[in-house]
Amino acid sequence: MPRIRKGSYVKFHYELRDDKGELIESTFGGEPMDYVHGEEQIIEGLEQFLDGEEPGFEGRVTIPPEKAYGEYRNDLVVYAGPENFDDSVELREGEVVETTDPDGNPVQFRITRIEEDRVYLDGNHPLAGKTLEFKVEVVDVE
């Protein structure tokens, strides 16, 4: 049976919970996720956990922030005036807005708070700073 190694095309089911056990996402009962192993398409800790496994493998793993979406960074929380947004952008807490960094790369921010003259934006991934619990089942390896 083929084992997961760099360049493998992998299909797997996963259940993702936070460190309090709250379900965040699950593919069980739906379509499995697919990715190319070693191409940084999934978080580092999960890729390391799956390395060398084969179809039928089932397991659980706890992944710390540094091997997932990184530590929460306060320097990625900024604010702007409402006048800095295009009229087509709906300014609502929880909305995600996209802009470009100085190099022209797209950057997403989540609106976390709106005051009269300030819109607070958080550039951290929603799961940054969180320890994640995964339950996985490898479906296919090519």
Domains 9-66+128-141 and 74-122 in one fold: no
- Tell me the per-residue pLDDT of 44-82, one tens digit each, with 9 for 90 and over: 999 999 999 999 999 999 999 999 999 999 999 999 998
Domain limits, the chain? 9-66+128-141, 74-122
CB burial string 42-59: b at 16+ within 10 A, e below: bbebbbebbeebebebee
Domain 9-66+128-141, what fold? Answer: Chitinase A; domain 3 (3.10.50)
Residue 3's pLDDT is what? 97
Q: What is the pLDDT of residue 93?
A: 95
Each residue's pLDDT tens digit, 5-25: 999 999 999 999 999 999 999
| Triad 7, 31, 36: Cα angle to 5° | 10
Which residue matches tokens 């091997």?
67
Q: Distance between CA atoms of 100 and 27, rounded to whole angstroms?
A: 31
pLDDT tens-digit map of 73-129: 999 999 999 888 888 888 899 999 988 888 988 889 999 999 989 999 999 999 999
Burial of 70 (0-12, 13-18, 19+ CB in 10 A): middle
pLDDT at residue 83, rounded to an integer: 87
Q: CA-to-CA distance for 127 and 64, rounded, in angstroms?
A: 11
- Spatial contact of 118 and 80, defined as CB atoms under 8 Å apart: yes
Output the CATH code of domain 74-122.
2.40.10.330
